């Protein structure tokens, strides 16, 4: 999971940096390209409590994950850059960070 | 809907632009087909989701609405005091609020909103009253007052402030209102381009600063800067700043007895009336890059020591045969002559006018008693300057359109917008001075605007107080000052100055290379077969040659002169964003304009630099 999280984090980071700092808007295209990895990563949270978490916490995590996926699909369907960027940057990022420590994030902090 | 917010916003507009507020109240607009849904983000911000035909898009982020705006705000950077800022799309006002946080009061903010329904929702849902009251915002709204875009753009953007122009298109507006936004951004870009290609104006205005710096470099290399004067005279006396306001006529004769009792610093415009009244000031200051030499064309004025920034008119500098003191004005090339010798190049706050610079100079020289004369900062008696400055008798002017401010002797006096800005500068500077030192500023201008923090006195009264004690020959002490540089350091600085024509020649050569690359890029864009590797390779070469130009210190001179072209190239690549091919063609087109100007400017400056910096050597 850690490896998947790092791979996805780096892609997400590149998209956000390009958008904010390079004024290059490839958010929807990049997000579409990440669809397989996003599904793969998120499905791990939905296949049962494999992380040995407290049941209440797991429920929260599951709801959160479903909401991220729902937003991802909604943003893609409506071709909504603002929605997608928020889903990746503020939604998915939180899930990815669960599997990463500071060194994995390198120089890239949020934004 | 919250009527309170709507009313608050309109009440704020009443103060700034009542006609516009009235149009909104009387519903003098045509609504469009945009539906606005108002939501709250998870971090508590009001966000809009907009439905336009089949499209349904957010204008603010659902989870973290603040973060993208904060990043944008940081990257948007500081706004220059004379900038024109264009926001295309207002959304729920988050970007507008962010830009207004530190918006300079002299700058212009123009907000174009392509949907009247979004604008109405904004005024109903988001309290913008503080922002509107703080600064007039030029709202241009489709369906309400869109015809005002062109005149507002022309009024806000002039040659002098082009370089500070900033533009931003609100997220998702390109998707929602692409055609409309494109139309206005295109109009803005075409307007900029027209200004750039109007070469005559460009030559006169933009190249003068670079010319002056080149012309002054050999004098700067002599190593005289104002800080050297700090220990040349005692500071327990007074210093007088003589400006050329119309009230100078009233008490100029009094100044004779101040000679050798007080340090007399005169602005360039006051030199003629002073000399004609038999008063030789100890220091003359000048700042403008364009000013007629006729202002100082009076016998004996050439011996007055000069204090100036490196960009001051070279003809002025050359006219003065006494000591020439230069200070840091933000240009790094002159500073290099000091830093290469591990010396500090002292500065003076320019503040926008020669009088501001003169005032800051006196403070920095250590005087705690400062007397202002002829510092009207207003059109006293409906005149702009004292007699004997630009004309023997200055004509009366129409002042009915001017702002009225508190006067020194009259209840209200008329002042122009630029003088009002300088008035505020004086007030702020005095406030700052007093926090640091026990400084007293006497305003002996017998007319004009009241400057907060000064004591209003007649010149006779204050000179009776300060013209005591022994005579001090200020002029002699200044003339006997030694340079900051040793002979070797001065030699090194002068040798560096002689390298400048060579640096400009190299920039010229790299400019030619850059142009070739852009032409290849254009040809490739026009060909049927667009190859990403080729494009990448060509863009890397663009970067290489651009960097090679920019790493030369002399590039600063060119950067100053072609700022317009530079801002055009950096502006949003918008109108041709439909396909990659169009985008490449647009980059190439703008790149060719840029490199043409770069080559022309480098060539002109190279010739000039050879002429003024190498002639003696040849």
Query: pLDDT tens, B64-104?
Result: 999 999 999 988 888 887 789 999 999 999 999 999 998 88
B114 and B253, same domain (yes or no)? no
Tens digits of per-residue pLDDT, B356-415?
999 999 999 999 999 999 999 988 877 777 776 666 677 677 766 677 889 999 898 988
3-state secondary structure of B263: strand
B179 and B238, same domain (yes or no)? no
B172 touching A, CB under 8 A?
yes
**H or E element: which one contains B36?**
strand B35-40
3-state secondary structure of B18: helix
Interchain CB distance below 8 Å, A80 and B58: yes
Q: What is the pLDDT of residue B574?
A: 40
> Which residues, listed in sequence order, are joined to residue B441 by a DSSP beta bridge?
B370, B454
Residue B533 resides in a domain: yes
B131 and B168, same domain (yes or no)? yes
Q: What is the pLDDT of residue B586?
A: 81
Write out the two tokens for B215.
Answer: 């012309």
Most A-contacting residue of B45, B53, B63 (CB-CB within 10 A), to test interface: B63
Nearest CA in chain B to A86: B61
Interchain CB distance below 8 Å, B62 and A80: no
Q: What is the pLDDT of residue B575?
A: 42
Residue B96 CA to residue B111 CA, distance in Å, equals: 8
B382 and B397, same domain (yes or no)? yes
Residues contacting A54, CB < 8 A, separation 6+: none
**H or E element: which one contains B266?**
strand B263-267
B474 and B500, same domain (yes or no)? no
Q: What is the pLDDT along chain A (111 residues), one digit of tens a residue?
A: 788 889 999 999 888 888 887 778 889 999 999 999 999 999 888 888 877 888 888 899 999 999 999 999 999 999 999 999 999 999 999 999 888 876 555 544 433
Residue B211 resides in a domain: no
Nearest CA in chain A to B573: A23
Write out the two tokens for B106.
Answer: 């002299």
B38 and B167, same domain (yes or no)? yes
Residue A29 resides in a domain: yes
DSSP letter string, B356-410: HHHHHHHHHTT-SEEEEES---S-GGG-SS-TTSSSSSPPP---TTSEEEEBSSS
Angle between helix axes B532-550 and B487-526 (nearest 10 degrees) is: 160
Angle between helix axes A35-46 and A55-78 (nearest 10 degrees) is: 160
Chain A residue numbers with beta carbons less than 8 Å from the beta carbon of B59 are 82
B17 touching A, CB under 8 A?
no
Most A-contacting residue of B39, B62, B168, B580 (CB-CB within 10 A), to test interface: B62
Q: How far is A3 from chain B (nearest CA, A)?
A: 26
Residue B364 CA to residue B358 CA, distance in Å, equals: 10
Other CB atoms within a 10 A radius of the CB of residue A21 amount to 11
Q: What is the pLDDT of residue B432?
A: 92
B55 touching A, CB under 8 A?
yes
pTM of the prediction?
Answer: 0.60
Write out the two tokens for B587.
Answer: 């980059």
B316 and B448, same domain (yes or no)? yes
Domain boundary pick from B130, B162, B197: B197
**H or E element: which one contains B88?**
strand B84-88
Most B-contacting residue of A79, A86, A110 (CB-CB within 10 A), to test interface: A86
**Domain enclosing residue A97, as ranges:** 2-105
Q: How far is A82 from chain B (nearest CA, A)?
A: 6
Residue B377 CA to residue B425 CA, distance in Å, equals: 11
**Domain enclosing residue B594, as ranges:** 488-614
Domain boundary pick from B467, B484, B501: B484
Please report, to the nearest 10 degrees, the dihedral formed by the alpha carbons of residues B307, B602, B598, B84 taken in order: 10
Residue A69 CA to residue A92 CA, distance in Å, equals: 9
Interchain CB distance below 8 Å, B68 and A91: no
Residue B33 CA to residue B592 CA, distance in Å, equals: 42
What is the bridge-based pairing of β-strands B238-242 and B263-267? parallel
B423 and B407, same domain (yes or no)? yes
Contacts 24+ apart (CB under 8 A), B439-443: B439/B363, B439/B367, B439/B368, B439/B369, B439/B370, B440/B368, B440/B369, B440/B370, B441/B370, B441/B371, B441/B372, B442/B369, B442/B370, B442/B371, B442/B372, B443/B372, B443/B375, B443/B408
Whose tokens are 């040995």? That residue is: A52
Chain B residue numbers with beta carbons less than 8 Å from the beta carbon of A78 are 55-57
Nearest to B383 by CA among B242, B241, B243, B247: B247
Q: What is the pLDDT of residue B332?
A: 87
Instruction: Name which of A21, A23, A82 is nearest B61 (Cβ-Cβ).
Output: A82
Distances from the Cα of B471 to the Cα of A68, B31, B261, B560, angstroms:
82, 77, 6, 45
Contact B385, B246 (CB under 8 A): yes
Residue A111 resides in a domain: no
DSSP letter string, B160-210: GGGGG-EEEEPTTHHHHHHHHHHHHHHHHHHHHHHHHH-HHHHHHHHHHHH
**H or E element: which one contains B325?**
strand B324-326
> Which residues, listed in sequence order, are joined to residue B373 by a DSSP beta bridge?
B242
Q: How far is B173 from chain A (nearest CA, A)?
A: 10
Interchain CB distance below 8 Å, B56 and A111: no
Nearest to B575 by CA among B192, B178, B112: B178
DSSP letter string, B433-481: HHHHS--EEEE--SSSB--TTEEE--HHHHHHHHS-S----HHHHHHTP
Contact B295, B390 (CB under 8 A): yes
> Which residues, listed in sequence order, are joined to residue B307 by a DSSP beta bridge?
B285, B325
Angle at the Cα of B594 (from B591 to B600), degrees rounded to 5?
A: 135
Q: How far is B584 from chain A (nearest CA, A)?
A: 14
Residues of chain B short of pLDDT 70, as ranges, are 1-2, 159-160, 193-206, 289-291, 388-392, 395, 399-401, 563-579, 615-618
Overall domain count for chain B:
3
Q: How many residues does chain A have?
A: 111
Overall domain count for chain A:
1
B352 and B403, same domain (yes or no)? yes
Residue B374 CA to residue B372 CA, distance in Å, equals: 7
B581 and B459, same domain (yes or no)? no
A77 touching B, CB under 8 A?
no
Residue B346 CA to residue B49 CA, distance in Å, equals: 54
Size of interface A-B (CB pairs under 8 A): 54
Residue B210 resides in a domain: no
Nearest CA in chain B to A16: B68
């Amino acid at each position: 999971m850690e490896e998947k999280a790092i791979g996805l984090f780096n892609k997400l980071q590149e998209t956000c940096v390009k958008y904010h700092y390079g004024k290059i808007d490839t958010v929807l295209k990049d997000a579409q390209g990440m669809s397989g990895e996003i599904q793969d990563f998120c499905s791990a949270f939905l296949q049962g409590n494999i992380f040995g978490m407290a049941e209440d916490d797991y429920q929260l995590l599951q709801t959160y994950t479903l909401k991220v996926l729902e937003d991802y699909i909604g943003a893609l369907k409506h071709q909504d850059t603002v929605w997608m960027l928020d889903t990746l940057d503020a939604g998915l990022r939180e899930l990815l960070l669960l599997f990463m420590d500071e060194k994995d994030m390198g120089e890239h902090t949020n934004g | 809907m919250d009527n309170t917010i709507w009313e608050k916003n309109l009440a704020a507009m009443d103060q700034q632009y009542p006609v516009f507020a009235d149009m909104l109240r009387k519903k003098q607009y045509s609504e469009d087909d945009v539906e606005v849904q108002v939501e709250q983000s998870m971090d508590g911000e009001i966000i809009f989701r907009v439905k336009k035909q089949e499209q349904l898009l957010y204008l603010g982020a659902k989870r973290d609405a603040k973060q993208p705006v904060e990043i944008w705000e940081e990257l948007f950077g500081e706004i220059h005091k004379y900038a024109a800022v264009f926001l295309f799309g207002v959304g729920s006002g988050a970007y507008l609020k962010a830009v207004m946080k530190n918006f300079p009061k002299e700058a212009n903010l123009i907000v174009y909103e392509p949907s009247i329904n979004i604008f109405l929702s904004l005024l109903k849902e988001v309290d913008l009253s503080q922002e509107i009251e703080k600064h007039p915002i030029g709202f241009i709204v489709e369906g309400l007052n869109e015809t005002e875009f062109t005149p507002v753009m022309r009024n806000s953007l002039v040659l002098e402030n082009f370089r500070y122009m900033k533009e931003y298109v609100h997220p998702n507006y390109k998707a929602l209102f692409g055609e409309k936004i494109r139309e206005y951004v295109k109009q803005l870009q075409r307007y900029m381009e027209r200004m750039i290609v109007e070469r005559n104006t460009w030559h006169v205005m933009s190249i003068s600063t670079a010319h002056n710096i080149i012309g002054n470099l050999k004098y700067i290399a002599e190593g005289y800067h104002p800080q050297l004067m700090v220990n040349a005279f005692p500071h327990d006396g007074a210093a007088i700043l003589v400006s050329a306001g119309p009230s100078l006529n009233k008490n100029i004769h009094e100044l004779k007895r101040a000679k050798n009792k007080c340090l007399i610093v005169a602005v360039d415009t006051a030199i003629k009336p002073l000399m004609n009244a038999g008063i030789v000031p100890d220091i003359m200051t000048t700042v403008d890059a364009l000013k007629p030499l006729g202002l100082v064309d009076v016998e004996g004025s050439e011996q007055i020591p000069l204090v100036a920034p490196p960009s001051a008119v070279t003809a002025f500098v050359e006219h003065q045969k006494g000591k020439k003191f230069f200070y840091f004005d933000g240009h790094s090339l002159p500073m290099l002559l000091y830093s290469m010798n591990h010396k500090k190049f002292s500065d003076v706050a320019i503040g926008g006018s020669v009088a501001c610079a003169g005032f800051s100079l006196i403070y920095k020289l250590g005087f705690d008693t400062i007397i202002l004369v002829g510092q009207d900062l207003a059109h006293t008696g409906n005149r702009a300057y004292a007699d004997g400055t630009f004309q023997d008798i200055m004509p009366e002017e129409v002042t009915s359109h001017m702002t009225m401010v508190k006067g020194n002797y009259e209840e209200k006096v008329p002042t122009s917008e630029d003088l009002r800005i300088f008035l505020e500068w004086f007030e702020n500077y005095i406030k700052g001075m007093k926090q640091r030192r026990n400084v007293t500023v006497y305003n002996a201008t017998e007319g004009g605007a009241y400057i907060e923090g000064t004591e209003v006195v007649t010149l006779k009264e204050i000179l009776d107080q300060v013209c005591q004690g022994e005579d001090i020959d200020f002029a002699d002490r200044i003339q006997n000052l030694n340079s900051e540089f040793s002979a070797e350091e001065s030699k090194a600085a002068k040798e560096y100055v002689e390298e400048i024509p060579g640096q400009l020649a190299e920039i010229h050569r790299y400019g030619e290379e850059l142009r070739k690359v852009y032409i290849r890029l254009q040809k490739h864009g026009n060909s049927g077969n667009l190859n990403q590797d080729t494009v990448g390779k060509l863009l890397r070469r663009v970067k290489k040659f651009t960097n090679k130009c920019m790493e030369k210190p002399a590039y600063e001179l060119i950067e100053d002169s072609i700022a317009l072209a530079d801002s055009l190239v950096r502006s949003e690549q918008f109108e041709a964003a439909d396909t990659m091919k169009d985008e490449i063609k647009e980059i190439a087109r703008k790149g060719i304009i840029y490199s043409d100007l770069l080559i022309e400017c480098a060539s002109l400056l190279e010739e000039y630099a050879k002429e003024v910096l190498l002639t003696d050597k040849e």
